[in-house]
Amino acid sequence: MSENAIIRTDAATPALGRTIALLALAVALIALPFLVKAIGQPALVPLATRVLIYAIAAASLNLALGFGGMVSFGHAAFFGIGGYAVGILYRAFADNALFLGFIPGTDQLLITLPAAILAAGLFACIIGALSLRTAGVQFIMITLAFAQMLFFLFVSLKAYGGDDGMTIRRRNALFDLNTRDDVTFYFICLAIAALVFLVLWRIVGSRFGMVLAGIRQNERRMAAIGIAPYRYKLAAFVISGMGAGLAGALMANYLRFVSPDMLHWTKSGELMIMVILGGVGTLLGPLLGAAALVILETVLTGWTEHWQLVLGPILLLVVLFTQGGLNGLLSRLGLGRSAT
């Protein structure tokens, strides 16, 4: 056998393993509601829905953080804006009023989700245009400051519940589907999550993604060959913010409740932990990190009220000894992208 044939065989082996792993993951996610019903644990369906929603938010942050090198502590702002877009439009619909005097309310998912994405994208464009003029610690602090400004803004809006938040009486409607059913809403979130990860995969593998990776590695060199890093970073930041807004809109529907806590800086910290836990700069890492964090939090809160004291060391051990998060661990087991 020639040397080139050996190289092709070795390269095909991890690719085959990744394909099998992805197919197994897809089958498991589709079959999950039926499996948990068979074992008498229907409460696991809402838990899986939370994982999918947080996976969308974490994957969106990962585009800016892992692929663009922009450490943003303000993505909770876009997450919360997406949630409030759903809540405000539903309030206007329930009151038969106009938001800002000219925007009619609605309870249709096909309208509220794009509205949430556009609102989050607009704020991401404004915040990113200002924040990306800095770098390093200054960028982190500016994004954090903007997020906290928006947090206190929504706290002061007494018309929308202020600090107590706002209740959404029923989930947004989608055709003739019963969105109040947890299984139906799970499959809606699963379909949207699959679409988001597909779009992110295409973005990362495109020329735009390659330029973004080059900017992350050496911004000065990319500028020297005629590429404007600011434009690419701003575009990635806006796309990332729009994804977070989409996740916030889904979370508002899932909880049927929105509050300023969705915009608090601790939410940004949770999303960042998910990215780091799963694997920074990997496509499926945010999904793994979201699943691990949500499941750990759920299990530990059932054991003790001081669950954070247990969660902290677990996260520390995973980050220190898995060399690339959970995705890195799976890579060494032959199920993820090979480090070579």
Per residue in 173-206, pLDDT tens? 998 889 899 999 999 999 999 999 999 999 999 9
Site of tokens 């809403």:
185
pLDDT at 339: 37
SS3 108: strand
For the segment 153-166, what is each residue's pLDDT rounded down to a tens digit? 999 988 888 888 89
Q: Which residues, including other chains, have CB under 8 Å from residue 79's CB and lie 6 or more apart?
A: 57, 120, 244, 245, 247, 248, 251, 262, 263, 267, 271
Q: Three-state DSSP class for 173? A: strand
| Residue 246: per-residue pLDDT | 96
Prediction pTM value = 0.90
Q: Measured between alpha carbons, how far is 201 from 217 in angstroms, rounded to an integer? A: 19
Measure Cα distances from 327 to 44, 250, 277 in Å. Answer: 23, 25, 9
**Beta partners for residue 258, in sequence order:** 166
pLDDT at 1 over 50: no
User: 166: which residues sit within 8 A by CB, 6+ positions away?
Assistant: 84, 87, 91, 160, 257, 258, 259
The gap from C-alpha 319 to its chain's centroid, in whole angstroms, comes to: 19
Who contacts 73 (Cβ-Cβ below 8 Å, separation ≥6)?
Answer: 140, 141, 143, 144, 147, 265, 268, 269, 272
